[in-house]
Structure 1
Amino acid sequence: MTKLAIVANIYAKPDQIDLVRAELEKLIPITRAENGCLQYDLHQDNDDPAHFMFFESWETRELWQTHMNAPHLAAYMAATDGAVENFTLNEMSQIG
């Protein structure tokens, strides 16, 4: 089975950058300990501090789906409700 790569782009509202960053950082240790998580790295754009990006690698799509339904992700969603301007997520496969 092919590993799954995820690229998630999160754009915080300008007045909510610190809140969104703090909530995103809470996800890192919990998610890295999840079954199937190979990589879970958070980045912040050098020119646009409101732009955060997660690069994730998972053993399988099914294990990533388990992560997406985890309580800590629901807690993040509740804590940042109204603080995120835009969110995009891409499921990707490595080809080279």
Structure 2
Amino acid sequence: MAKLYVVAVTHSQPGKEAELQKALLELVAYAKTEPGFVKYDLHVAEENPGEFLFYEVWDDQKSLDLHANTDNMKAFGEKYGHLIKTTSLSKYKLL
């Protein structure tokens, strides 16, 4: 079965860069325990400390859907959503 590759880019609210980075790092540790996890790496832009990129690899769409709907992800949104200005998500398949 083909893996699902995901690139998610999140921008923090101005002045909330460090707080959001700390919160996002918590997501990394949790995602690594989820079913279907293959890779979940967090990056920060060198020239923009408020821009974060997740490079994710999941077994399939079902695994990504489970990840997105966990109680942990819902709680993250409620607790830290105010720190986020924008988020975009793109999905890819390996050719």
TM range (shorter): over 0.9
Name the counterpart of 2:93: 93
Name the counterpart of 1:29: 29
Displacement, 1:82?
Answer: 2.1
Q: Which has the higher strand share?
A: 2
Report the AA paired with residue 59 of structure 1: D
In 1: Cα distance, 2:11 partner to 2:91 partner:
18
Bigger drift between 70-79 and 52-61 goes to 70-79
Displacement, 1:83?
Answer: 1.6
Could you list the runs of 5+ residues in structure 1 that have no partner in the other structure? none
The answer as to 2:16 corresponding to 1:16 is: yes
Could you list the runs of 5+ residues in structure 2 that have no partner in the other structure? none
Two-structure CA RMSD over aligned residues (Å):
0.9
Between the two proteins, what is the percent identity of the paired residues? 24
Report the AA paired with residue 21 of structure 2: R
In 1: Cα distance, 2:57 partner to 2:29 partner:
15
The secondary structure found in structure 2 opposite 1:87 is: strand
Aligned 8 A contact 1:23 1:79 in 2: no
In 1: Cα distance, 2:77 partner to 2:22 partner:
13
Name the counterpart of 2:62: 62
- What is the aligned residue count? 95
**Moved beyond 4 Å, runs of 4+:** none
In 2: Cα distance, 1:77 partner to 1:20 partner:
11
Name the counterpart of 2:50: 50
- Deviation per residue, 1:66-94 (Å, 9 max, x gap): 00001111121112222211110001111
The answer as to 2:3 corresponding to 1:3 is: yes
Aligned 8 A contact 1:2 1:93 in 2: yes
